[in-house]
């Protein structure tokens, strides 16, 4: 882990796009300028529309269509609307549900995904291509066409509205990417170490757990973030299979109701989007080094 983050801090590969012939290095200030211009563009890209979301979230509903680019008609009302239970919205509970569902999805996908990726990357057996194909094929069917069969299935076994009815589909949506990322990652692992541990008397399980897993942690972390966000954003299935008690935030936001038919509480939707996004930003901020280091840890070998 440490190794890979270190490589990131070495130097400016950002400015490698200089097209001058070798021997005539670009002036450092120009390099810096170019880097910071790029940085500025990226920040505006990421934050611009998000800023607008924030401005709208703090704006009075009656001024929804106000296009003043800075905050006007500032109010906390929308956030009160979001968390108010008066109109049958239970945003707070939905937030907790989302954490439960996404958390469970992430944990299970990681365990299951690590097993599979290990087998695919490390073990020799026939049918690998078929399995990878099958896993990929799971990402090829229109998600909207899955709702009805799953509804019938889960209703028949009495799972409708339960957490497992939401977590299991989420797992299957997260698994293909998880497996592909982890397999690509595991292929570059220093497997000699595992062999060495076995020779030293470790069982295959121990060798994997004690030697490989710690090395793989960053890769798993990247895959976990991917899985978490996939589950956090899932809406289609949840909108039809969750009950009032288990519905996640995406569904709660979609069912925000205005005070009248036709009136859409757009500002409250933005406020809710804001509330939902902030924890993820904090999380990403806290772990960004690891997220990025994730796929690179394979570099340990080289």
Partner 1 sequence: MPLKRTVGAISTVLLISSVAACGGDDAGGGAENSAFEENLDSRGPITYVQGKDNSGVAQPLVDKWNAEHPDEQVTLKEQTDEADQQHDDLVRNFDAQNEDYDVVSVDVIWTAEFAAKGYLQPLEGDLAINTDGLLAPTVEQGAYGGKQYTSPYASDGGMLYYRTDLVKEPPTTWDEMMEMCSIAKKENIGCYAGQFQKYEGMTVNASEAINGAGGSIVGEDGKTPTVDSPEAAEGLGNLVEAYENGNIPKEAITYTEEEGRIKFEEGKLLFLRNWPYVYGLAATEASSKVKGKFDVAPLPGTDGVGASALGGHNVGISAYSDNKATAIDFVNFILEEEQQRFLLTKGSLAPALESLYTDEALVKEFPYLPVLLESIQNAVPRPISPFYPAVTKAIQDNAYAAMKGETDVETALSDMSDAIGSASSSQ
Partner 2 sequence: MSTETTDAIASTEETPPAEPERASIDPHQTRRAWLLIAPTLVTLAVVIGYPVVRAIWMSFQSDETIDPQTGLFVEGGFAGLENYAHWILQQCGGQACPPGTNAASFWDTVFITLGFTVVTVAIELVLGFWFAIIMNGTFRGRGLVRAAVLIPWAIPTAVTAKLWYFIFAFDGIANSLMGTSIVWFSDKWAARAAIVISDVWKTTPFMALLILAGLQLIGQDVHEAAKVDGASAWQRFWHITLPLVKPAVVVALLFRTLDVLRIFDLPYIMTGGGAGDGNDTTTLSILVVNEIRSGFNSAAALSTLTFLLIFAVAFVFIKVLGADLSQDVKER
Q: Which of residues 46-75 bind partner 1 (CB under 8 A)?
A: 60, 62-65
- Nearest residue to 224 (alpha-carbon basis) of 285, 275, 287: 287
The angle formed by the CA atoms of residues 68, 69 and 71, to the nearest 5 degrees, is 80
Minimum distance from CB of 284 to partner 2 (Å)?
5
Sequence-ordered alpha helix ranges (H) in 144-235: 147-156, 163-186, 192-199, 204-206, 213-233
50 interacts with, out of partner 1, partner 2, none, CB within 5 to 8 A per kind: partner 2
Categorise residue 88: left if φ over 0, alpha if ψ from -120 to 50, beta otherwise.
left
The pair phi, psi for residue 64, each rounded to 5°, is -50, -40
Contact between 157 and partner 1 (CB under 8 A)?
Answer: yes
Among 134, 209, 244, 245, binds partner 2 (CB under 8 A): 134
Contact between 200 and partner 1 (CB under 8 A)?
Answer: no
Judge whether 194 and 211 are in contact, CB under 8 Å. Answer: yes
Contact between 76 and partner 2 (CB under 8 A)?
Answer: no
C-alpha–C-alpha distance, residues 53 and 62, integer Å: 16
Stretch 8-27: interaction string toward partner 2, x if CB under 8 A = xxxxxxxxxxxxxxx-----
Piece of 73-81, 82-90, 99-107, 229-237 that binds partner 2 (CB under 8 A): 229-237
Minimum distance from CB of 87 to partner 2 (Å)?
18
Among 34, 258, 291, 292, binds partner 1 (CB under 8 A): 258
Cite the beta strand spans of the chain per DSSP E: none
Contact between 153 and partner 1 (CB under 8 A)?
Answer: yes
Contact between 10 and partner 1 (CB under 8 A)?
Answer: no
244 interacts with, out of partner 2, partner 1, none, CB within 5 to 8 A per kind: partner 1
C-alpha–C-alpha distance, residues 300 and 302, integer Å: 6
Contact between 137 and partner 2 (CB under 8 A)?
Answer: yes
- Nearest residue to 110 (alpha-carbon basis) of 242, 193, 220: 220
Stretch 248-267: interaction string toward partner 2, x if CB under 8 A = -xx--xx-----------x-
240 interacts with, out of partner 1, partner 2, none, CB within 5 to 8 A per kind: partner 1
27 interacts with, out of partner 1, partner 2, none, CB within 5 to 8 A per kind: none
Among 53, 240, 280, 291, binds partner 1 (CB under 8 A): 240
Judge whether 221 and 290 are in contact, CB under 8 Å. Answer: yes
Size of the residue set binding partner 1 (CB under 8 A): 31
C-alpha–C-alpha distance, residues 39 and 281, integer Å: 18
Contact between 162 and partner 1 (CB under 8 A)?
Answer: no
The angle formed by the CA atoms of residues 186, 192 and 194, to the nearest 5 degrees, is 75
C-alpha–C-alpha distance, residues 190 and 203, integer Å: 18
C-alpha–C-alpha distance, residues 225 and 288, integer Å: 10
Among 1, 257, 280, 300, binds partner 1 (CB under 8 A): 257
Interface ranges with partner 1 (CB under 8 A):
60, 62-65, 86-88, 147-148, 151-153, 155-157, 239-240, 244, 251, 254-264
């Amino acid at each position: 882990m440490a190794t890979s983050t270190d490589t990131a801090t070495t130097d400016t590969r950002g400015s490698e796009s200089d097209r001058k012939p070798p021997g005539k290095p670009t002036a450092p200030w120009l390099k810096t300028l170019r880097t910071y211009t790029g940085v500025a563009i990226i920040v505006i890209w990421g934050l611009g529309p998000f800023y607008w979301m924030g401005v709208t979230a703090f704006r009075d509903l009656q001024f929804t269509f106000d296009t003043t680019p800075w905050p006007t008609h500032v109010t906390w009302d929308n956030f009160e609307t979001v968390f108010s239970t008066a109109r049958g919205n239970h945003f707070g509970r939905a937030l907790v549900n989302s954490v439960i569902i996404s958390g469970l999805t992430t944990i299970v996908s990681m365990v299951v995904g690590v097993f599979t990726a290990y087998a695919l990357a490390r073990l020799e057996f026939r049918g690998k291509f078929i399995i990878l194909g099958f896993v990929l094929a799971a990402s090829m069917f229109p998600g909207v066409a899955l709702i009805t069969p799953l509804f019938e299935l889960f209703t028949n076994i009495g799972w409708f509205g339960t957490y497992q009815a939401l977590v299991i589909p989420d797992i299957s949506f997260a698994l293909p990417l998880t497996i592909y990322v982890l397999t690509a990652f595991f292929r570059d692992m220093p497997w000699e170490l595992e062999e060495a541990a076995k020779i030293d008397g470790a069982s295959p399980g121990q060798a994997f757990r004690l030697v490989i897993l710690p090395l793989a942690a960053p890769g798993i972390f990247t895959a976990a973030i991917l899985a978490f966000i996939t589950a956090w954003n899932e809406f289609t299935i949840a909108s039809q299979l969750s009950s009032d008690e288990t519905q996640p935030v995406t569904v709660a936001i979609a069912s925000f109701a205005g005070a009248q038919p036709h009136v859409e509480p757009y500002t409250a939707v933005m406020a809710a989007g804001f509330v939902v996004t902030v924890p993820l930003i904090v999380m990403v901020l806290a772990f960004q080094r690891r997220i990025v280091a994730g796929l690179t840890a394979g570099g340990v070998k080289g």
